[in-house]
Amino acid sequence: MKTDLRSKIIQTALLLFEEKGYHGVSINEIVTEAGTSKGGFYHHFSSKDELLYVIHDIFITYAIENAKLAARSYESPLEQLQAIIKSFVGVFHVYKPHLTVFYQEAKYLHPKYDEIIRKKRDEFRQIIYDVVKAGKERGEFRQELEVDIVVMAILGMVNWIYKWYNRDGEKTISQIADIFTDFILHAVLKAEYLDKDTYESILIEPFYFTKTKK
């Protein structure tokens, strides 16, 4: 298959970058590990920069799709927020190496790639923003909420997962998602919406958890 070598290079680079950082890994190291040659690498990527971009793009594109789907699948902001968090946390199980590289090395993205990625990142943030805003306007979420800052708090706590999540750790990603959901809902919901029956009812396993079976 035409894509074979390309995929192999991405996978190899991903793991190496995760372990040693983008600057800690040379092209030579990547191609040796991937079982190809420098020429092979440059046949598929125009530069090391581009490889970094591709890694960023794979993940952010996926994350946006998931978040949109989660939002679309429910009607009330409460449920939407739940679904988005569950989905978002779940992405870390599948794409932890991508995310690690994404957050650790974003600074070194070439400007031309950075712009593309920045737009997608903004798009992702906007999805969460809209849901929190709607929840506040509908009267389900507390009226004191500063939406901008709350969105950054949510993004921060979830994003940080890449620093500590371990597939073989004590808690599964699903449990972590539930704990985070519980934490966030307590932080944003009005007291009257806080009885378990309301919000725990939709804790179905979302699609992408089962997607990774490979």
108 binds, among DNA, its own copies, none (CB under 5 to 8 A by kind): its own copies
Please select the residue that binds DNA; options are 7, 11, 26, 201, rule is CB under 7 A. 26
Neighbours of 9 (CB within 10 A): 24
98 binds DNA (CB under 7 A): no
Measured from the CB of residue 72, what is the shortest distance to its own copies in angstroms? 26
Grouping H, G, I as helix, E, B as strand and the rest as coil, residue 1 is coil
175 binds DNA (CB under 7 A): no
Q: How far apart are the first and last CA of the chain?
A: 19
Residues 29-68 that bind DNA (CB under 7 A): 36-44, 46-49
Beta-carbon contacts of 171 under 8 Å, excluding residues fewer than 6 positions away, are 179
φ/ψ of 74, rounded to 5, equals: -130, 165
Nearer to its own copies, 20 or 211 (CB): 20
Number of helices (H), then strands (E), in the chain: 11, 0
Nearer to its own copies, 144 or 197 (CB): 144
Length of the chain equals: 214
Measured from the CB of residue 214, what is the shortest distance to its own copies in angstroms? 27
Q: Which residue has the tokens 């799709």?
A: 65
116 binds DNA (CB under 7 A): no
28 binds DNA (CB under 7 A): yes
What is the spatial distance between Cα 193 and Cα 199, in angstroms, rounded to a whole number? 8
Please select the residue that binds its own copies; options are 1, 2, 149, 214, rule is CB under 8 A. 149
What is the spatial distance between Cα 133 and Cα 124, in angstroms, rounded to a whole number? 15
Residues 95-134 that bind its own copies (CB under 8 A): 104, 107-108
What is the spatial distance between Cα 205 and Cα 159, in angstroms, rounded to a whole number? 20
Please select the residue that binds its own copies; options are 148, 200, 205, 212, rule is CB under 8 A. 148
Judge whether 129 and 147 are in contact, CB under 8 Å. yes
Which residues would be at the binding site for its own copies (CB under 8 A)? Answer: 20-21, 23-24, 104, 107-108, 142, 144, 146, 148-150, 152-161, 163-164, 170-171, 176, 179-180, 182-184, 186-188, 191, 194
Which residues would be at the binding site for DNA (CB under 7 A)? Answer: 2, 4-5, 25-28, 36-44, 46-49
